[in-house]
Every structure is written in structure tokens, then in C-alpha cells.
Amino acid sequence: LQVDGTIQAPADPSVIKGTEQWFKFLYMDHLTLSGKGVFDGQGATVYKKAAPAAAWSGKNSNSKVFMNFGFNFVNNSIVRGVTSKDSKNFHVMVFGCKNITFDGFTITAPGDSPNTDGIHLGKSTDVKILNTNIGTGDDCVSIGDGSKQITVQGVNCGPGHGLSVGSLGKFTTEENVEGITIKNCTLTATDNGVRIKTWPDAPGTITVSDIHFEDITMTNVKNPVIIDQEYCPWNQCSKK
């Protein structure tokens, strides 16, 4: 699929109410998405209405709606060159995928846009995020449960909340995270640098292992390295 023009989502979220992702690729093998095109989520109206706590509340529920892209059970595939702009929620969800690469990809949203994670991974193996520019109002990359053999290399992050593993441990259905390499990345004016975040007193009993952060350059980053085992935004949990 080659896209060289600009494709715009409806600005009014009610038009696509109940839709998790605006562009969704399901059960595919050997997909190539490329070109100079821009997928414009037109998220400005949503950003203005969302209070921070309300925006966050959807992050760990089943209401991840209005994302620009969903790659679900997509294998042996590549996304190259295109731009994801102003998604109403997460820009990209990668779920249940094997051997998928993002190379020369661009993600952009205002620094104050709530819950606009760049690329979120879950239950996926052998994912590569390479030579990619990500500027958002949330995590540039967030690595969720069941992620294995993940490489994040040559990524420029900022603005945003950094390169994160987690949050993890909130649900009993979560799977182990292992084999994560984040290297040769640059973070500029982000809230965090590299981060691992897990919930306190959570029902999840997974392990997080074989994590490598290498050759990371940070400029004007508030919290360069964080390993947080009491991740509890907006006090929506018990810190036992």
C-alpha cells in the first residue's frame, strides 16, 4: 500500500464512535505500507475537551479509541516513510504481531496532547522501530506486556514522556516482557528518558528481564532514568 497524499480522519470523533483505530490492518502477512503520505487524525478538538485525568483513564481500559493505526496479527511486514499526525489517542497500536518493522516513520502531535503515545506494543515478537522521529504528548514508545525481542534504534524522541517499558502488572492476563534493546536514541526536552514502570500491589505476576539501554543521548530531559515500581498516575490505585 503506497500513500503519497494526505488522508484526514473526521475531526468530529462521534462520526467514528466506537472505532478503536481509524486505519486497521488485521491478520496480514508481508504487508508493506510506504510512501510520503500523511495520515492526519485531526485530534485538536479532542485535545481541547480532554482533562488530563479523563484522558489518562482510557489508557489502561478497553476504550482505546480513535487511534490512527492498528496493526493486529500482522506478520513479516514493514511500515516505511509515512507520517502519523495528530492522532486523537495513541498513534499506533501493534498487537499480536511477529516480525514487523517501522523504518523512517514519523509521528507528530503537540507536546500537550493527552494520551497520544507514539507506538504501543503488546503481545508481539520481533518488532523493530528504526530511524524514526516521534514527538507526542505521551510516551514516544511504550512497550506493553508480552513484548519479546524488541529493538528500538535510531529514534529521535521529543516532545513526549520518553521511551517506556510498561506500565505493567495491572491485569492478571499479562505476559512476560523480555529481550528489549533500546540503543542509539536521542531524547530532547522530554519528561522522562528511559523508563520501566509497574503498578504497586497489582494482580499481575509477570517478569521483566533482559532489558538493554545503550548509547542514549539526552538533552534537557527532566528524569533521565526511572525504574518505578509504584506507578500510580492520578492516584487511581492503592499503594500497598
* Active site amino acids: 161
Provide the CA 21 distance to its chain's centre, in angstroms: 13
Provide the CA 208 distance to its chain's centre, in angstroms: 18
Q: Which three cell numbers stand for residue 41?
A: 487524525
> Residue 156 burial (CB < 10 Å; 0-12/13-18/19+)?
middle
Total residues found in the chain within this entry: 240
Q: Quick check: 167 and 204 in contact, CB under 8 A?
A: no
The residue assigned the cell 504487508 is 31
Residue 205 neighbours by CB distance under 10 Å? 9
